[in-house]
Structure 1
Amino acid sequence: MEPFAGYGILAVLLIGGVAGWLAGIVVRGYGLGIIGNIIVGIIGAFIGTWLLAKLGVFVGGGLIGTLVGATIGAIVLLLIIGLFRRV
């Protein structure tokens, strides 16, 4: 399953931004600003899609499923970034 399949570039940026913002709230102290959060959200969508598929987890389709998967991936990415920022 491809994240953002069928969405335009503005929708990708919006979903990525919301996912990055939500991840920044969940993982406090690791926010990267609005541009950083959008990038983390977009990259997180790919990580979340891959990770959830490997775990056999289906979060649903459509906008909500994409947002949930992107947020989960963004949380994972922020946690990894946080590990390297502390070193």
Structure 2
Amino acid sequence: MTLTELLILLIIAAICGAVGQSLAGYDLGGCFVSIIVGFIGAYIGMWLAHKLGLPEIFAIHVGGKTFPIVWSVVGSALFTLIVALLRGAVFGRR
């Protein structure tokens, strides 16, 4: 995988993470956090799709790697909701 392909994957993950956070209505952080949330969301979303027997709806192939856009957004939103609920339970509402 070249540097350009890696940067493209990071940008796609950042966009998916940001969209997932905005759908959840909770912001976990900046651009770097959005990248992490996008990758975690891709894993959660693909795991959930596999368990439910759902296909990959829209996936981008970059450098031999497949990045599921729709499931990444869904997983990012779910992950953000879980983190928001845990933060609210632990630290209380402000």
Give the TM-score of the pair, scaled to structure 1.
Answer: 0.79
Deviations 1:19-76 (A, max 9, x none): 111012111123422111110001110111111110111142532x711111111111
TM-score (norm 2): 0.74
Q: How far apart in 2 are the matches of 1:76 and 1:17?
A: 16
| Equivalent position of 2:7 in the other structure | 10
From the two aligned structures, give the one with the greater helix fraction: 1
Report matched runs for 1:45-60 at 5 Å.
45-60=42-57
Q: How many residues align?
A: 80
CA contact (8 A) 2:42 2:75 kept: yes
User: 2:27 aligned with 1:30, yes or no?
Assistant: yes
Residue segments in structure 2 that go unaligned for 5+ positions in a row: 61-66, 90-94
The amino acid across from 2:23 in the alignment is V
State the distance in 2 between where 1:61 and 1:19 align: 12
In terms of Rg, which structure is larger? 2
- Structure having the higher strand fraction is 2
CA contact (8 A) 2:58 2:69 kept: no
The one-letter code matched in structure 1 to 2:21 is G
CA contact 1:12–1:42 (8 Å) conserved in 2:
no
SS in 1 for 2:43: helix
- In the TM superposition, structure 1's runs of 4+ consecutive aligned residues that sit over 6 Å from their partners are none
In the alignment, structure 1 segments of 5+ residues that lack a partner are: 1-7
1:77 to 69, 72, 79: 79
Separation (CA, whole Å) in 2 of partners of 1:22 and 1:29: 11
